[in-house]
Structures are given as structure tokens and as C-alpha cells.
Amino acid sequence: MSAWHGKSKGTPLGYRIFVWVLNTFGVLPAYFLLRFVVLYYFFFSFQASRQIYQLYRHRLGYGLFSSIFKVYTNYFLLGQSIIDKVVVMSGIKNKFSFEFDGEENLRKIASLNKGGILLSAHIGNWDVAGHFFNRLQTSINIVLYDGEHEKIKQYLEGITGKRNINIIVIKNDLSHIYAISDAFSKNELVCMHADRFIEGNKTLDTNFMGEKARFPMGPFLLASKFKVPVSFVFAVKESKLHYHLSASEIKDYSIFKKEEVMPVMLQDYAAEMEKKLKQYPEQWFNYYDFWEGSNKG
């Protein structure tokens, strides 16, 4: 299986160049420069390109040339998401706008004072969403793998300063579990991606895009164990400077039997994720075989 390893690509020099362009010329010129950088990954990241191509060609049914073009578009939008993250976190002047469907659902989950889990995916740009969620006036914790190379992470922290949301890093010593439990005890919200796992982690199976796929057990186990309400949230890009945020109605899985909770929750999550993937196919930033080698050649 071509597994995901929890690592991001890029170099500190590359980040410095883009930050200089952003500060000097703005967002759109940075997007223009990005087009040339994307060509490198398009031609030389064969394994990643092959996996995302399989999605477009064999899962979503696009034609040969359309699938190839969508691979390039996917890389381009991934680059934009990184640029946008740097812009909003560092306070660089910008003209980003957004609309928020379901904001009342997140306000309601915050008002329940039970804590809550916001389940998302690597579709769109969650870092930008976290910035916009300041308006909810509640504490939000985002659970992430510490996958950025250390030098890049240090450089980004130097230009962006302290994040306006709390980051809980997944660690081998399971200290993140205690941090999540502490957040729930304070009636805070915890956001987790539930569409990737590192090989060796416990997983659950469900139907996704017409075939059985594996998802990480952790997010669903936590929601089941702590009996907190759940909402499925996404932040996707609809134009160069406009984002669309959405949050599903609150779901209370405590009404289900213990053995039913995780499978039902996973089915609901996979259905929401599939809906978003079909709406925004170029914005799922997944570069490994999600269906365990079941793709066609």
C-alpha cells in the first residue's frame, strides 16, 4: 500500500521567497509565481500524481486529459491553500471574503457547554477556517500530526507568531488524548481531520465512493467515549479570494448502542465527505492509495 506518512513537502527558502512576494506585491502575484512551482511537482512527484489521477480517472469518471488537468489544478489549489494560510495567520493585507452555511449550528454546539467534536477532512483549507472561526467567541482546538519539517515550522512560527487557535499535536506518548480530554472538560470544541491515518494505527472500514475504504478510528472513538455532540465542517475555496465554510446540523450519537456508535458516525462522515468531494474534486489533497491498492492501473 502507498501509505501516507504524515509529512509535508517544501523548503524554508521556498517559503521565504513566497512571503517576500506576498509582502511586496500581494496575493495574486504570489499565485502567478506558484504556477511555475506547481509544474515541478506535477512532473516530478510521480507517485502522488498517480494516486490523485486515479481518483479523477477511475473514481469520478473524468476523461484522460480532463483528469491530467485536474491533477495540475489540485496541486495549484494546494499551493494556494498554503499561501492563504500564511497570509491570514501573519496578518498580511488581503481581500479574502467568506460565507458561512451552518454557523448557527456551531454557535448552538458551543452554547450546550458539553464540549464538541468538529470532524473535517483534507478538503479545502482548515487553517483559514480556524482563523474565521474567531467570531464564534469560543475556544477551538485543532488536532494535527506534527508533519511539517522542523525548519519550515520554525520559519512559519517566526513570521506568523502565535496561532489564534490552540493546536494539539498527536504524539506517540498519547499526551494528546489528555489534552483533548482537558478541552472537553472546559466545554471547548475540538476539530479533527478523519480522512488520514498513519500505517499501524487502528482503523474502521466503510463504503466510500463505491468501495470499502479505511478511516482512522481515533476521532470516532473519542466522540463515542466522551459522548460529545458532533458536527461535520468544511472550508472550501470557491474563487481566488472567496471561501465557503459549512457546518452540518449537530448530531448526538449517545442515543445509539455502544457497538453502533462508531459505524453509524463513520457512515455519516463518509457520506458528507463524499458529497464535498463531488462538489469540489480538485480540493481533496490526498496523495496515497485511499482504497488500499484497489484502483485500476
pTM of this structure: 0.86
Could you count the other beta carbons within 10 Å of the beta carbon of residue 180?
Answer: 23
Would you give the end-to-end CA distance of the chain in angstroms? 14
* Percent of the chain residues past pLDDT 90, beyond the cut: 44
Q: Is 165 helix (H, G, I), strand (E, B) or coil?
A: coil
pLDDT surpassing 80 at residue 275: yes
Residue whose C-alpha cell is 480538485: 282
pLDDT surpassing 80 at residue 57: yes
pLDDT-based confidence at residue 200 (cuts at 50, 70, 90): confident
pLDDT-based confidence at residue 162 (cuts at 50, 70, 90): low
pLDDT of residue 234: 93
Q: Is 238 helix (H, G, I), strand (E, B) or coil?
A: strand
Residue 99 cell numbers, joined: 460565507
Q: Is 32 helix (H, G, I), strand (E, B) or coil?
A: helix
Q: Which residues of 29-52 are buried (b: 16+ CB within 10 A; e: fewer)?
A: ebbebbeebbeebbeebeebbebb
